[in-house]
Homo-oligomer: A and B are copies of this chain.
Amino acid sequence: MPRPSVREVIVDTAVTEFHRHGFAACSVDTITRAAGVPKGSFYNHFKSKEDLGAEVVARYAESSGWRDGHGDLGPLDTLRARFTVMRDVLVDNEFTRGCLIGNMGSERADHSPVIRKQVGESLTHWSDSITDSIRQAQAAGEVKGDKDPELLGRFVLDAWEGAIIRTKVAKSVAPLDDFFDVVFGSLL
């Protein structure tokens, strides 16, 4: 197996560090120390901590497991299963960390155009995927056809990101249960 590049090690480490502590609370120094690479190597690979932040958001979004298959489930059950995977990660993390995309949006959107752009793209990519599922569920007769799937895709993602904040604050699964009850019990 090839040795991961210094760049890869920095990105992987920063995913964990930013997720645990937040962006402002981490420095290039704390990240390179946690990664076990020389601090001087950082600027061979990244222009700035902001640049690393944008790459971290993209990496996190890609590796979320959101698009993993769920066997022969129908479209609505597949969507529910995808959110359930995310829910289980939050339970395993004892309701810490939350969603790195939402965290970075909340913390950095006003201060870093490069991170803001990447968070925006990741959110749109994600809500588009939810919209696709809703469209398929409409085609399968599982969701009423008169509902706007694009509007619902965006709204459902916002409701999820808000539920994650309350879950972090309450240190309880209850806000995620609320999400499933409303979204899959009455909204869709």
Q: Measuring CB to CB, which residues of chain A are less than 8 angstroms from any residue of chain B?
A: 20-22, 24-25, 96-98, 102-103, 105-107, 109-111, 116, 119-120, 123, 147, 151-152, 154-155, 157-163, 165-166, 168-171, 175, 178-179, 181-182, 186-187
Contact = CB atoms under 8 A, between A and B. Distances in A.
26 contacts: A22-B24, A24-B24, A24-B25, A97-B110, A98-B109, A102-B162, A105-B165, A105-B168, A105-B169, A106-B106, A106-B107, A109-B169, A109-B171, A110-B168, A119-B169, A120-B169, A151-B181, A154-B166, A155-B163, A155-B178, A155-B181, A157-B166, A158-B166, A161-B165, A162-B162, A162-B163
Given A22-B24, A22-B107, A182-B151, A102 B158 contact: no
Contacts of A110: 20, 96-97, 168
Given A106-B103, A110-B96, A110-B97, A159 B165 contact: no
Given A96-B110, A105-B168, A119-B169, A178 B151 contact: yes
The A interface is mostly helix, strand or loop, or mixed, namely helix
A169 B97 contact: no
Contacts of A106: 98, 102-103, 106-107, 165, 168
